[in-house]
Chains A and B, each alone.
Chain A
Amino acid sequence: MNNSILLSSLSHGKKCRVKNLNTEGLLRRRLLDLGLIDDTEIEVLQKSPSGDPVAYLVRGAVIALRSEVTSMIVVEKV
């Protein structure tokens, strides 16, 4: 469990795997629907001009998430 960190704390170029989504309801469904299920690999691609949101590579698709969301996603570094 020592490896568990929040997606928001990863810097660009890093890769990780989804461990847990600390959220429920609509947002949780949205994130799962985007493919962020257990063990999914995420690569941090690039920050937007103001630093937030950040673009991630998930299952071959590029998805932008705000920091509020990424601070609810628990991941494990690869």
Chain B
Amino acid sequence: MGLTNKSTGIGVLDNEIKINKLTPDDKIIALGGNPNVGKSTVFNNLTGLNQHTGNWPGKTVVNAQGDYSYKNNNYILVDIPGTYSLMSSSVEEEVARDFICFGNPDTTVIVVDATCLERNLNLVLQTIEITSKVVLCVNLMDEAKRKGIEINLTKLSKKLGIPVVGTSAIKSKSLGELMEEIYKVSHNKITLNPMKIEYEKMIEDAINKIVEPLKVLFQDKLDHRWVALKLIEGDKSLLKSISEYINCSLTEEKKLMEKVDDARVLLKDEGIDAEKFRDKIVSKLVKTAEEISRDVVFIKNNNYNSFDRKLDKYLTSKKFGIPTMIALLFVVFWITITGANMPSQILSDGLFYIEDKLTDLFVWLDAPNWIHGLLVLGMFRTLAWVVSVMLPPMAIFFPLFTLLEDLGYLPRIAFNLDNYFKKACTCGKQALTMCMGFGCNAAGIIGCRIIDSPRERLIAIITNSFTPCNGRFPTLIAIITMFFAGFFSGPLQSVFSTLILTGVIVFSVIMTLSISRILSKTILKGIPSNFTLELPPYRKPKIGEVIVRSIFDRTLFVLGRAVVVAAPVGLIIWSMANIYVDNISILTHCANFLNPFAKLIGLDGYILMAFILGFPANEIVVPIIIMSYMATGSMVELDSLDQLRTLLVSNGWTWLTAVCVMLFSLMHWPCATTCLTIKKETLSFKWTLISFLLPAATGIVICFIVTQVSKIFGLI
């Protein structure tokens, strides 16, 4: 099946978390924690704007890094994946664990949720078994207070034997305290004595047998007790990583392995086999978390979660669950569509004004026509289109979506939809990765690491591009507005557009499910694996932060990508449209070549060409179509969607063309970034190729059927 250990395991880590220290004195701080505990708020507050990488763009989504300085020292903060555990049953957990183990962080900060401490302590205990240099950050103290939950941080710190800092998003004072503790731990200013989790006597005896030879082999690398536990357990993938880390194969150390065998025999004699051993270890951690939490958490009101339960009753109920989901989607789209109109208009007015001024400048400079064409009509105009048509919907959709995410709603979507995914023989968490795909498919594909089963993870990866990403939304919105909203006028128009867009998204979800099912029944056969899903407490989203972050991380990223991708493509398009062979431009040659095939699937040569040239980034498909039509003669001043519509219609567009362009936009090859990400995540050329061909083939078949059926029934 190609699902080797390499394609799903540590291999993924290759060139994964790379850290560039500016000076050798820089301290590396790993930031871990459960999902949805406000880890990114802590990250953002510490680093401010000194982030090397945004949280979203493609491959860097898992390990955002940032700098801050404190007491004349530079700290590199590495955001490791949010997980509930470090047992490494999913790639996500493996990445987190491996960074704590082998990434040599000077301090590991674990962020936990004050409103759900017991559950969160599991990860903390697992971490202090690996490393002693841990600082605990109990976040959301304000929420806890509101819910009537009190936590004795001093006692918690004493019990765990590590520094504990309480933080809440509103108070920045606590941040200084956190920095101070990180400073102390990473500069060895305090001696840490983290709690040792004592297992029952049999297990302790077994551990002690192995610890001695380990001391010789490891010296001060890694925690010997922890390695001993893992050796007895026989966690093969981890032992391989450890061997690589200390540069000597553990399994070939005869003396050590003899001791390990001894220890196993000792345990077996007491009736503790491998399975029981693991049971005991995991149970002990859970019990320890329970004991600690009983001692330090005081709950004044036992019904502190009643608001969450009430909200869940509506958001996930039989009657309202799915309708509410669709309604929320509708509202998000409606705000996006209506809100984007104005800024789009302003941007396009502004940018085309600049184009005029640039033209004046070129005339004044007496520059040759072709230079003006290449730079202004080619590059600048394409850029202007990308920015004015694409940017506003993105800048509105993203913060809205992030708000839902921060609220804790996305796991509820997975909960609501799980049964459908089960019927498709896949994992309900695929709903989460699908949601991430709305932002960016590359991010969605990396997100698939949360899925335990390699088979289900591959299906989620392959089908992710059926979810229209942020780069394709504006295309859909523009086409819907131009061709289908015209039946109505006034406010009804935007409602109608939104309805269609919501329908398109529901269709994309249905396609994702169908294709997943087909994959499950053919090349990726299997039964659905068992799945467990955490539904974290709801949160009040930090609206200000979300908006600021969206602007910085996403909007600037989109602008950057537009410059990098759209500008050269604009250049190419203009050249192709203006270099003539046999009196016909190269562009037209290409389009003519593609035309017969394109016509079969309801498109035309230029459109298909635009999709092909849009491979680097989906954002530029519509601008390329516009450029091509304009370059072929009918030069019009385009400053509104109405005029754009006129241009398209004069080039033979009908409602059927519009439908097919939307369908094809929904289902064609994933963009270049996405393909690279798939290659990196699956480490397989074969699966990358399948992920490329499958949506393309699906799109072609569906567009063909729609076109031919419409023609047969004389609808067009």
Q: A interface vs B, CB < 8 Å?
A: 23-24, 26-35, 37-38, 40, 45-53, 55, 59-66, 68-69
A55 contact from B116, B279, B415, B420, Cβ within 8 A = B415
Q: How far does the Cβ of A45 sit from chain B's closest Cβ, in whole Å? A: 7
Q: How far is the CA of A5 from the CA of B289 in the complex (A)?
A: 27
> Could you show 25 A-B contacts with beta carbons less than 8 Å apart?
A23-B530, A27-B530, A30-B89, A30-B532, A32-B279, A32-B286, A33-B286, A35-B122, A37-B283, A37-B287, A48-B418, A48-B419, A49-B318, A49-B419, A53-B418, A53-B531, A55-B535, A61-B536, A62-B534, A63-B532, A64-B428, A64-B534, A66-B418, A66-B528, A69-B530
B270 on interface, CB distance cutoff 8 Å: no
Q: How far is the CA of A27 from the CA of B307 in the complex (A)?
A: 31
Size category, B interface: 35 or more
- In chain B, positions 88-143 with a C-beta closer than 8 Å to chain A are 89, 116-119, 122
Q: How far is the CA of A24 from the CA of B278 in the complex (A)?
A: 11
Q: How far does the Cβ of B484 sit from chain A's closest Cβ, in whole Å? A: 30
Q: Interface with A: B150-158, B309-317, B367-375, which one?
A: B309-317
**Most chain B C-beta atoms within 10 Å of own C-beta, residue among A34, A35, A62, A68:** A62
Query: What chain B residues lie within 8 Å of A32 (beta carbons)?
Result: 279, 282-283, 286
B359 on interface, CB distance cutoff 8 Å: no
Q: Do A66 and B534 touch across chains, with their CB atoms under 8 A apart?
A: no
Query: What chain B residues lie within 8 Å of A47 (beta carbons)?
Result: 318
Q: Secondary structure at chain A's binding surface: helix, strand, loop or mixed?
A: mixed
Q: Do B283 and A50 touch across chains, with their CB atoms under 8 A apart?
A: no
Q: How far is the CA of A46 from the CA of B122 in the complex (A)?
A: 25
Closest A residue by C-beta to B85: A33
B87 on interface, CB distance cutoff 8 Å: yes
Q: Do A51 and B122 touch across chains, with their CB atoms under 8 A apart?
A: no
Contact with A along B311-346 (1 / 0, CB 8 A): 011001110011000000000000000000000000
- In chain B, positions 174-225 with a C-beta closer than 8 Å to chain A are none
Q: Do B119 and A31 touch across chains, with their CB atoms under 8 A apart?
A: no
Q: How far does the Cβ of B688 sit from chain A's closest Cβ, in whole Å? A: 27
Q: Do A29 and B321 touch across chains, with their CB atoms under 8 A apart?
A: no
A29 contact from B89, B313, B528, B535, Cβ within 8 A = B89
A64 contact from B89, B279, B533, Cβ within 8 A = B533
Known pairs A33-B85, A33-B87 / 17 extra A-B pairs, C-beta < 8 Å? A26-B452, A29-B89, A29-B282, A30-B452, A30-B532, A32-B286, A33-B84, A47-B318, A49-B316, A52-B419, A53-B415, A53-B428, A61-B536, A62-B536, A63-B534, A64-B428, A68-B530
Q: Do B318 and A51 touch across chains, with their CB atoms under 8 A apart?
A: yes
Q: How far is the CA of A18 from the CA of B664 in the complex (A)?
A: 51
- In chain B, positions 672-695 with a C-beta closer than 8 Å to chain A are none
